[in-house]
Structure 1
Amino acid sequence: MNKSQKKYNKALNKYNDGYIKKSMELCDESISINIKNRAAINLKGLLLYLKGDLQGARELWNMNHEVNNDEVAKKYLEGSKKDDVRFNLYKEALTLIKELKINEALVLLERCAESDFNYIEVNNYSALCYIKKGNYNKALEKINNVFEVDLDNAKAKKNMKFLKDVNIIKKGSNVKKTISISLAVIFAIVLIIGVYKGIINPKNDFVNKNKVVKVIKYKNNVKNDHDVDNKDVFNEKDMENYIQNKDYDSMYLQVNKWKNKKLNSYDGEVLSRASQVLRGEGCLYFYNLGSRYLNSGDYSNAISYFNKAYEFGSKSDLYPHIIYFLANSIDLSGDLKSATKYYSQYDENFSDGNYEETVLYRLAIIYKGMDISTSKNYAKKLVNKYPVSIYNNSIINSIINS
């Protein structure tokens, strides 16, 4: 057996074992020894095809067909005719993901999955979408699809780490092992983390509908608070009722009014309990409502409720999510300068968080019209930290080169 064939056989074994990078290196070695090794050329083309390099794959197959008269390469070329359309669908899906239109993105990604073109990235982003939706079994299936061809894939590892960090699967588990997840566990995880890189969709069942109703049910109580305020007397019975009925809006008004005033020991204890409730259940309630308003395009109310969650959520696991979505709501409302305050806070305190790519991109874009030097710093940070980010576009390049 000649050296070129041996290299090809090793490349094929590495591919079958899930080491696509090493397989490609061995293909190059095989082809460098014998440019007419048709199998090695076709395999390298296939690897590029799986990675999403359609032009590179076609060039290799076209060469193999024309120079070596390879019929397999010809069939590959014919089979890839519709992949230009799929690549456009893939790019459109990425835009939808950035806009948090997860269901729409999944529809396009499923159409992309009709062929193996761009197999790795289609599965990576499908996994991310399913994580956002809380469908962890489906996410795990997509992650395992990636690992079947690329065990060292960074995005798949990141998605798998998330599932492990939130105890969806046990750390140290076999990445190929599919598990069954109870709805109760998913419900709890989603409420705690805000559906990973996303917000709780009002169409989902994750939002506590009873609590949303209470915004209406206790509306009159909020008005009554003004009567109490006018008397300038702390009413511990009203506060006890707010706590018992989980009337977080009224609680919020009264805690902010009385938190810096001198109260007797009993009233102080009631106020302290209300503050504690707001830091826990209340923070989650405000976050959920802010998410609903953001999803419906009501940025004013989204900002209001995210601000409330921000005030009481500094010790909460939700805090990085709160800061990001507060910044995002302000950004979408058109107040770009104010948005930079919270985007910057996220970058300074949660630079390894799930939203950092988007944060750096928005900071670079917003500062472009305010302070080009600062804009350039954020653009460079984005490119250096995330060299293959979907945000590394012509706009970012123009900022860096300005």
Structure 2
Amino acid sequence: MSLNDEISKGDKMDKSSKLYKKAVKLYNSGYIDKAIEICDKSINVNRRNRAALNFKGLMHYFKGDLNAAQRVWEINYKYNKDEISKKYLKDSKNDEEKFNIYSEAVKLYEAINVNESLKLFQRCEISDYNCININNYIAMCYVKKGEYNKCITYLNKVLKIDKNNLMANNTKSKLKEYGIIKNKNNYKKVIVGIIVIGLILGICYVYKNISSSKVKNYVNSEKVKDKKDKYKNNTNKHAYDVSENNKKVNDKLTNKKAVNNIKTKEQKSDVKFSANLVKQYIENEEFIKLYNSLISCNKEELSINDRLIYEKGINFMKESGVNYFYEKGREYLQKENYNEAKENLLRGFRFSDGSFLKSHIVYFLGITFEKQEDVSNAIKYYEIYEKSYSKGDYAEETLYKLALLSVYKNKEDAKMYANKLKKNYPESIYNNSKMKEIINN
């Protein structure tokens, strides 16, 4: 090996080490998804970075992806003879049984058997495997049992690792909405309010001491200014009104265009199907390009060989693409970028049949449309969820939202959903004065 090769190797190791440290810092700050992304970059620079490989495996382990964690540790042990990876692999074999317990606990939870499901979730706490999902479910069990302090403890465990975790933040928002968690910003608002009032009083005092002549001069100057502006304002009034009317029409069409955006893309069939490109997109996990390639062609017009590649692309979208678009949708939803959230969730929804993520995608589409005040589409996806997943993770929330939103569309439907919520979940925190009002009216 030459001196230049040694220097190049040293530079790579140094860069990989810096990226690894950045990933650890992100993880400690609660950004696990970003930490995994940076950790991947560290490994791409130096595939023999033992610490980065072990760390990436652990993060997948916490998220509940046992296969991904074991694959990373196997690579580390195979190429680096890393003993820590060997130990992780040995210990993780016991977690396969733990996943079965977790799956059974989820079924019990969805069947509203909260006490039994909680016992099983607590059995899963023995190791940190799948700890994000387990802690989320334990928190939700405690919500249903009315033990809110315990719920908050488990929510904080999730948010310490994953600040952007949608499930935990959604639960926390519910607790804030009902006053169980006090909003710390209220104190700041009070202080700011006092300061503002003080400033207003001070300004009033100053103006009271301005001489009357100065006030008169000020008023006269304003009158002159008003006269000068009057003609200009009248001249522009018609153009302004037309502009405002056009803006209102355009605003009404915005959501409709956004909803139909993907459908419009799907109608474009002028892009020729390229088997080589599809293979490349699959290999490089370029999900958006793959998605566009698959929806822009007519399967019936493809040759036999191209159909095989097409089906391979479809299967890859079902196996990995759904998860990618779901995570992207959650990320944009958290950032309140609702158009991007909606587009990614709709992409995931297209290939989600048979996926355990479909119920989550449907529910979050409802939330996204609701955030955009698109009541019709919000109701549409909440109704899909209510009909298909009546005992799912978000069953209570869905009935509550359907009752509230249906008031604007069909009051009888609103009453039906409110009564269903009351009957199926008599202890739910959603059985509040709003529901009683809907039922009684």
TM-score w.r.t. length of structure 1: 0.48
Name the structure where helix makes up a greater proportion of residues.
2
Bigger Rg, structure 1 or 2: 2
TM-score w.r.t. length of structure 2: 0.44
